[in-house]
Amino acid sequence: MSDKPLNEIVNVESVSILMRLLRDFGRNTLPLLGRKVPFIQKQFVAATIVSFREINNQDFQVIVEPRNQVERLLARKDTDINMYENYSLYFNRIAVLLNLQEPNMHGEARLLDPMGNIKNDMGLISSEEYHYTNDIKFLERMKYQFYQSCGRNTEYIICVFSHHVPCTLKTHQCARLINEFSKRTNEFLIVSYEDVFYDTDEDVALNILSHYSRIFCLYPVYFCPPKKSDKNIETYLLPWDEEEEPVCRRISRRVMRAVSNKRFRTEKKKRKSFCRFSKFMDSNVCEEI
């Protein structure tokens, strides 16, 4: 792989689409988690592992079946969720994690440092806490599934979407932890977020995340642009229920339908405006006569 920074290797538009889909997937699982935990919070971490080819080709099949599973579970409205484990949901190559209360761990640490080795070396937890920090090894599971799908020699990227930007809180320092993880393992990471916790310094967090070339921090504006310029993200999705139809044909159809509807509405509005203007002019002419 080239020595270029990660943001120069991957297609930024494709990354934006993937992170938007990952964010939406995480949001959609929150009602399921709400059936299993005594409280629900906005903060979640949704993570997946993809290849460079999958990102640059906008091949997001990795999200299709998990999304279908979530929709089926939401429709059933029961609490028998076999992919739930300890404040988390796990789907093949995707994990959605809530913050743990005991021991106190944020989602980023649960994913990248489940044994507490990095936090211990950073001096963020005591030796006593270190011995009791032993969470599920989500990343190992995802890597195994990735190798099953893409082959052991395929290079991968760990994609992490956190509702809040990885924190700078004194006892967690998730931004520093991500940076340290990438340096130790030489792993590629893409990180994104949509909000900032009131006690986190966003500028400091972004500076830490942008400091290492193997980490690409995608700012929210890339996948949540202002409403006036917002693209219809659905045109990029793979089919959830129409898998037999080629993607390119379906995308073209959706785009043409959207354009046609817009033209129709515009022409209709023009005709109404012209009629109102004509009536107004006619009435004024009559009055003058």
pLDDT digits (tens, 9 = 90+) for 2-13: 578 888 889 999
pLDDT of 252 > 70? The answer is: no
**Same domain, yes or no: 172 and 284:** no
pLDDT of 208 > 70? The answer is: yes
Q: Pairing mode, if any, of strands 156-164 and 88-91?
A: unpaired
pLDDT at residue 1, rounded to an integer: 57
CB proximity list for 240: less than 8 A, separation 6 or greater: 64, 67, 68, 71
pLDDT at residue 121, rounded to an integer: 93
pLDDT of 160 > 90? The answer is: yes
Q: Which of 169, 148, 121, 120 has the alpha carbon at shortest distance from 49?
A: 148
Helix ranges restricted to H, 47-137: 52-56, 64-76, 107-112, 117-121, 127-132
User: Where a domain ends, among 216, 236, 256?
Assistant: 236
pLDDT at residue 78, rounded to an integer: 81
User: Residue 175 is encoded by which pair of tokens?
Assistant: 């931004």
**Same domain, yes or no: 203 and 79:** yes
In a domain, 64, yes or no: yes
**Same domain, yes or no: 133 and 84:** yes
Packing angle, helices 174-185 and 202-209, rounded to 10: 0
Total tally of structural domains belonging to the chain:
2
**Same domain, yes or no: 16 and 52:** yes
Task: Find the mean pLDDT for residues 166-178.
Answer: 96
pLDDT confidence tier of residue 116, bands split at 50, 70 and 90: very high
**Count of alpha carbons within 13 Å of 72, Cβ hemisphere only?**
11
Instruction: DSSP letter for 228, please.
Output: G
Task: Find the mean pLDDT for residues 64-76.
Answer: 92
**Count of alpha carbons within 13 Å of 60, Cβ hemisphere only?**
25
**Same domain, yes or no: 87 and 162:** yes
**Same domain, yes or no: 216 and 137:** yes
**Torsion sign, CA atoms 146, 150, 155, 157:** negative
Task: Find the mean pLDDT for residues 108-125.
Answer: 94
pLDDT at residue 94, rounded to an integer: 97
Tokens 């004194």 locate to 170
Of 22-31, 87-96, 109-118, 268-277, least confident by mean pLDDT is 268-277
Average pLDDT, rounded, for the chain: 81
pLDDT confidence tier of residue 127, bands split at 50, 70 and 90: confident
pLDDT of 271 > 80? The answer is: no
Task: Find the mean pLDDT for residues 162-190.
Answer: 96
251 is in which domain, residue-wise? 245-289
**Same domain, yes or no: 39 and 65:** yes
Alpha-carbon span 54 to 230, nearest angstrom: 24
Q: What are phi and psi of 278, to 5 degrees?
A: -65, -45
**Same domain, yes or no: 79 and 18:** yes
pTM (two decimals): 0.78
Residue with more model confidence, 235 or 14:
14
**Same domain, yes or no: 208 and 265:** no
**Same domain, yes or no: 34 and 146:** yes
In a domain, 1, yes or no: no
Of 33-47, 120-134, 227-241, 266-280, least confident by mean pLDDT is 227-241
**Same domain, yes or no: 69 and 192:** yes
Residue with more model confidence, 280 or 102:
102
Of 83-87, 150-154, 250-254, least confident by mean pLDDT is 250-254
Percent of the chain with pLDDT over 90: 61
